[in-house]
Amino acid sequence: TKLSNATLDALPDDVARPTYDRSKLTPGIVHIGLGNFHRAHQAWYLHRLMQQGKAHDWAIIGAGVRAGDAAMREKLLAQNCLTTLIELDPSGTSAEVIGSMIDFVAVEEGNGPLIAAMCDPAIRIVSMTVTEGGYYLDAKGGLDLDHPDIRHDIDRPDTPRTAFGAMVAAYRNRRDLGHPAFTGQCCDNLQGNGAVLRQTVLGLARAIDPELADWIERNATFPDSMVDCIVPATGEAELRTARAIGIADVVPVTHENFRQWVIEDNFCNGRPPWEAVGATLTQDVHAYEAMKIRILNAGHQILANAGELLNVPTIAACMEHRDIAAFFRKVQSEEVVPYVDPVPGMAPDAYLALIILRFSNPKIRDTTRRVAFDGSSRHTGFLLPILRDALKAGGSVDGLALTEALWARMCAGTREDGTRIEPNDPLWPSLQEAANAAKSRPMAWLEQTKLYGDLASQPDFASRFEAWLKKIWSDGTEAALRAYLSQSN
Ligand code: NAD
């Protein structure tokens, strides 16, 4: 029987489910970008609160600004917005159905329904996961006012295309109606993610109506947060797992047995008591996010480009691959950990050990392809800041240069066994062009100044990058990894 409110009682006994009355929930949050991650993370935290009898006036309304989100809406509405979360721990598998989401806004061009939903004064938080590349940043990290989507929203502010244009329109209506502003809460993996969201919203608002921008600046807040839980994409294997448990959910989510959420306590219009279910509310998110982004997210990139080239299907399999795993450990301990500060209760070395354990969980089918996605925002956001710190400190950048060279080789679009790597980046055509040019002239890759800024003119880095890319093309990925591993520092 299909998952729905009516069939909750018929779920297998060992599947946990809402103990609260879902018909009494009222909305407080609109979430834009209903992918897998949100449901395993924020929606789970809220569900836990609801199980404790708290936050029943903070239920989530899902939303999306891309045509593709309409399919997710249909599927979720057909099962009363219930989601099955399947926890994949090396010690065993368990499942729970969460009920903290109660509706999904119609996905329409011009985003009228979304704007209307965000104008409801009951909505006090608008949160989002629209990917790291979704914030329209230029090469210097500012808002790219020339991007066609942003230009569109400046020219037609009543029928915006982007999540941010929709937020600006909703803020305007709320101001005009005398409603207080909502908090904008970014849950994407970006350093200073609240500040990034704030910059995009305010930058767009200022280009549309400076007075409105001033109002938003005075009234709205955009807390920074660090989010963490490894959540694979759902494919056939995950659907099979759900069926084996006895749940007919067409969009189940699998995840690891680890979650962390560190949130800057800066909400302009109230918030659920997240701290009651394990989130950390603090005024200093920065150290936590730097540790996580540099060791986990940058670490993912260190693994995934080599993994794609050698056709290693998952992150856990990369951790079992002798050379890739050894490469990961060496780069991390010699060129990443030195540029990470400790946080309360956790030293960088201990955090690295934890990440090695989490990445090695063989039950999580986190595909190398998913992790290798969006390199143009992930290399720039996660790896290049470490590289710049290392150059400033005069430390080694050999392994980081090799990491960039592996990406430059991967973007040529073929694995070493000759199979094709499907496009995996919004900038794919230009990346592929640069990658092919770099085969004979490696600097062609670093000369992509939109990605690398002035790094091509840093001789310590550029010469190592050149040598590595040449070696990868002439002797192969494994030979390059082994050459790196045989050097002792
Ligand atoms: P997903 O592919 O399942 O969902 C992505 C969602 O974002 C979809 O709803 C899509 O329509 C929307 N989207 C994509 N690009 C957009 C854009 N430019 N503008 C507006 N909407 C856009 O991915 P996911 O696993 O849910 O991950 C989403 C984000 O969550 C990641 O990029 C990351 O920042 C964060 N995150 C994910 C994980 C994880 O393990 N999956 C862990 C931590 C953080």
CATH, residue 416:
1.10.1040.10
Centre of ligand 1 to C-alpha 234, Å, is 13
> What was the ipTM of the complex prediction?
0.98
Could you read off the pLDDT of 197-246 as tens digits, one per residue? 999 999 999 999 999 999 999 999 999 999 999 999 999 999 999 999 99
326 & 272 share domain: no
334 & 420 share domain: yes
* pLDDT score of 304: 98
Bridge partners of 98, per DSSP, are 83
440 & 399 share domain: yes
Are residues 341 and 348 in contact, defined by beta-carbon separation less than 8 angstroms?
yes
14 & 137 share domain: yes
Based on the number of CB atoms within 10 Å of its own CB, is 298 exposed (0-12), middle (13-18) or buried (19 or more)?
buried
Q: Is the beta carbon of 374 within 6 A of some atom in ligand 1?
A: no
Three-state secondary-structure class, residue 2: strand
DSSP type of residue 97: E
**Among 129, 137, 188, which is best to mutate for testing ligand 1, by the most ligand atoms less than 8 A from CB?**
129
Centroid of chain to Cα 263: 16
**Six token digits for residue 467:** 């040598």
Based on the number of CB atoms within 10 Å of its own CB, is 240 exposed (0-12), middle (13-18) or buried (19 or more)?
exposed
Q: Is the beta carbon of 34 within 6 A of some atom in ligand 1?
A: yes
* pLDDT score of 451: 95
Beta pairing class for 92-98 and 59-63: unpaired
278 & 322 share domain: no
Q: Which residues of the chain have pLDDT under 50?
A: none
Centre of ligand 1 to C-alpha 485, Å, is 34
How many domains would you assign to the chain?
A: 2
- 253, 282, 311 — which closes off a domain? 282
Beta pairing class for 92-98 and 83-89: antiparallel
> CA 275, CA 69: separation in Å to the nearest integer?
30
> CA 295, CA 450: separation in Å to the nearest integer?
24
Beta pairing class for 183-186 and 125-128: parallel
* pLDDT score of 1: 76
Centroid of chain to Cα 73: 20
Q: Is the beta carbon of 163 within 6 A of some atom in ligand 1?
A: yes
Centre of ligand 1 to C-alpha 33, Å, is 6
3-state SS, 4-40, equals CHHHHHHCCCCCECCCCCHHHCCEEEEEECCCHHHHH
- 282, 309, 325 — which closes off a domain? 282
302 & 162 share domain: no
Centre of ligand 1 to C-alpha 129, Å, is 5
Could you read off the pLDDT of 375-419 as tens digits, one per residue? 999 999 999 999 999 999 999 999 999 999 999 999 999 999 999
- What are the two backbone dihedrals, phi and then psi, of residue 94, each rounded to the nearest 5 degrees? -140, 160
* Segment (H or E) for 85: strand 83-89
323 & 223 share domain: no
Q: Is the beta carbon of 132 within 6 A of some atom in ligand 1?
A: yes
Are residues 309 and 415 in contact, defined by beta-carbon separation less than 8 angstroms?
yes
Instruction: Give the max Cα distance, the chain.
Output: 67
Q: How many helices (H) and strands (E) does the chain have?
A: 23, 11
Could you read off the pLDDT of 140-157 as tens digits, one per residue? 889 999 999 999 999 999
52 & 125 share domain: yes
* pLDDT score of 202: 98
User: 181: closest CA among 150, 214, 134, 142?
Assistant: 214
User: 469: closest CA among 428, 429, 410?
Assistant: 410
Sheet holding 260-264, edge to edge: 225-228, 260-264, 280-282
109 & 238 share domain: yes
Q: In this structure, which amino acid lies at residue 184?
A: G
256 & 294 share domain: no
Q: Kindly give the number of the ligand 1 atom that is closest to the alpha carbon of 72.
A: 9
- 282, 300, 321 — which closes off a domain? 282
* pLDDT score of 489: 53
**Six token digits for residue 95:** 């499942």
Please state, as a whole number, how many other Cβ atoms lie within 10 Å of the Cβ of residue 439. 16
Place of tokens 């092919």: 436
- If you count them, how many residues does the chain have? 489
Q: Is the beta carbon of 301 within 6 A of some atom in ligand 1?
A: no
Convert 254-287 to b/e letters by CB count within 10 Å (16 or more is b): bbbbebebbbbebbbbebbebeebebbbbeebbb
144 & 202 share domain: yes
At what angle are helices 322-331 and 477-486 packed, to 10 degrees? 50
| Domain of 344, in residue numbers | 286-486
Q: In this structure, which amino acid lies at residue 128?
A: M
Which ranges constitute the DSSP H helices of 31-127?
A: 36-40, 42-51, 69-78, 112-119
* Segment (H or E) for 32: strand 27-32
**Six token digits for residue 251:** 């969009």
Q: Is the beta carbon of 377 within 6 A of some atom in ligand 1?
A: no
Place of tokens 């609160």: 49
CATH, residue 85:
3.40.50.720
User: 36: closest CA among 197, 261, 255?
Assistant: 255
Please state, as a whole number, how many other Cβ atoms lie within 10 Å of the Cβ of residue 483. 14
Helix, strand, coil shares of the chain, percent, nearest 5, are 55, 15, 35
375 & 230 share domain: no
**Six token digits for residue 395:** 């430390």
Which ranges constitute the DSSP H helices of 360-486?
A: 368-372, 375-378, 384-393, 398-410, 428-440, 443-446, 449-452, 459-475, 477-486
